[in-house]
Chains A and B, each alone.
Chain A
């Protein structure tokens, strides 16, 4: 019970502090203060959630100074005659600039509305009193009045729910659907769809490419796809392909450890017969020094083989029939 009384007493004291008697301090002589307020253009039709901005500029001449503690406090809810007005100070931005014998304060006050009514109703932001002090006479604090702002709150809808067909005022004009944005949406949609389809085709096509997907054989293919069918060039081409395989499995690839390659990238399994042929060709060129093979055919075959390796590297399934179609066995 005592605890409950204590809480009541606390709120009573707080209420007394929140309400300040305007007659407590004398008004400042107007010659020391210049005031300019930019009020919002809209003064009616406010409803719950709306925000009102007040730009207040005060120039205070010396010897007076603004007691900054007398400015409104964020979160304080406006009252009139002890009644809540449904308006709260949401934010305050404060800027101070000294010029010769005066100080200019630019204050932005943002009030948020927390009330509405079934009919339009006047409401106002009550006057505020900012206190000024003369440092030479600290006991004689004076006040300066910021005038109130009268606005009108409105219901969210007129008399509650509205039936549009009963509210066809000729002065308001018919409600029309904005067709431009819908047409743009359709255009963007079609554009996106086409791009998606093309991307899908690209991904599943044999020439697909993604960043970081190409590793070793892309370079080999790019470097040698226009190579000449001379002995040195073919030797280099074969060496580059060997290097590509070695890099792929991070060890040397020989005919008897192909399984390591297949384990690393199963796509190569589909061109196993081509890999066997490649090793035969490599053996003939590098270790048997056979010179009686057709260089033009071998070079063309190597270009297609390197393309197939590139496709395998990208995880694609290669149709080895390509090579047969081109007349290679």
Chain B
């Protein structure tokens, strides 16, 4: 793929970002991050309170990307086979089996949207883990491939009843976990309450252009972005130091008030996590029309690509969201570049 093609795809990426921004207000940051994730070919987990627009945001992206789209709601009685097939009695009175949401679109499946993922059982998480990591599935004595698949999932951290904690192995499969927070801006909040266009979410997302580009080209584009965006030795050293700081924050004199930093971290970012961070940083540089990654590209994606991979001491796990935020901020503050 030539530089010219990459430049054209960059325009498309910015158009995608612009289209979603047209219908979802006040979420410019998360929208840029999701766009980054799409072009870095990584799965996205949205985290936030109830009714903040997580589902609408993901649906808007699904509409604009195109390709096969499937959606499932996480419930406590959802079983892995519910994703693969469902059985019914046909008009002929005989039992029939039809493809479930995962298999319905075949290889063209572009977006699988898992709503309220933390309501599903660990068995379901386990199946999803394989689909996300390997993009394959074994069923009916054959193997199915989903080369263009990106999983979008959301969860709310408020409700704990009838929910299952997503295991760290499953969290690690997500390229980003993006917090969705409604900005405390009076004008925006008033608009969300009184502007009638926000009352019907399905109608709202129709405002975003449909199928902006060929979804089956995204893998190739992503590969080319990764090849064409450079990283220097100074940047490699910087990212390595960031990685080390996630494992041993005390070595970098990182302090968080009220937290014993020596005991905080059980496991820092994984190699896969740091590699995903760098993939996202490259895409961020590409979207900002640069040919090299700079520290600010890493800063733009650091929290979202790293925070959910950190395994904290159980003592601090209940305050995970706030501690992770503070920790990633402190790491960026303390680790210098070059």
Using a CB–CB distance below 8 Å, which chain A residues touch chain B?
Answer: 238-239, 242-243, 246, 251-252, 254-257, 282-283, 286-289
Contact = CB atoms under 8 A, between A and B. Distances in A.
A287 B333 contact: no
Q: Which secondary structure characterizes the binding site on chain A?
A: helix
Contact of B336 (A252, A256, A283, A289): A252
B25 to A, nearest CB: 24
B294 interface: yes
Given A252-B333, A254-B296, A282-B338, 8 more contacts: A252-B334, A252-B335, A256-B299, A286-B338, A287-B234, A288-B230, A288-B291, A289-B230
B291 A242 contact: no
Contacts of B232: 286-289
Contacts of A286: 232, 234-235, 337-338
Interface string B221-232: 000000000101
Contacts of B336: 242-243, 246, 252
Contact of A254 (B290, B291, B292, B299): B299
B332 interface: yes
B295 interface: yes
B13 interface: no
Contacts of A246: 336
A256 B300 CA distance: 11
Contacts of A257: 333
A254 B337 CA distance: 8
Closest 10 CB pairs of A and B: A252-B336, A286-B234, A251-B333, A288-B292, A287-B294, A286-B338, A246-B336, A287-B292, A287-B232, A289-B232
- Residue among A238, A257, A287 with max Cβ neighbours from chain B (10 Å): A287
Given A252-B334, A252-B336, A287 B235 contact: yes
Nearest to A253: B336
A249 to B, nearest CB: 9
A78 to B, nearest CB: 77
Nearest to B235: A287
B246 to A, nearest CB: 16
B293 interface: yes
Given A254-B296, A256-B296, A287-B294, A239 B338 contact: yes
Interface of B: 230, 232, 234-235, 290-296, 299, 332-338
B338 A238 contact: yes
Nearest to A239: B338
Given A286-B232, A287-B232, A287-B234, A252 B294 contact: no
Contacts of A242: 336-338
A54 to B, nearest CB: 74
23 contacts: A238-B338, A239-B338, A242-B336, A242-B337, A242-B338, A251-B333, A252-B336, A252-B337, A254-B295, A254-B299, A256-B296, A256-B299, A282-B338, A283-B294, A286-B338, A287-B235, A287-B292, A287-B294, A287-B295, A288-B232, A288-B290, A289-B230, A289-B232
Contacts of A256: 296, 299
A238 B293 CA distance: 18
Contacts of A282: 338
A261 to B, nearest CB: 13
Contacts of A252: 332-337
Contacts of B338: 238-239, 242, 282, 286
A282 B292 CA distance: 13
A194 to B, nearest CB: 47
Nearest to B334: A251
B284 to A, nearest CB: 13
- Residue among B299, B332, B334, B338 with max Cβ neighbours from chain A (10 Å): B338
A283 B291 CA distance: 12
A255 B292 contact: no
B294 to A, nearest CB: 5
A245 to B, nearest CB: 9
B135 to A, nearest CB: 33
Contacts of A289: 230, 232, 292
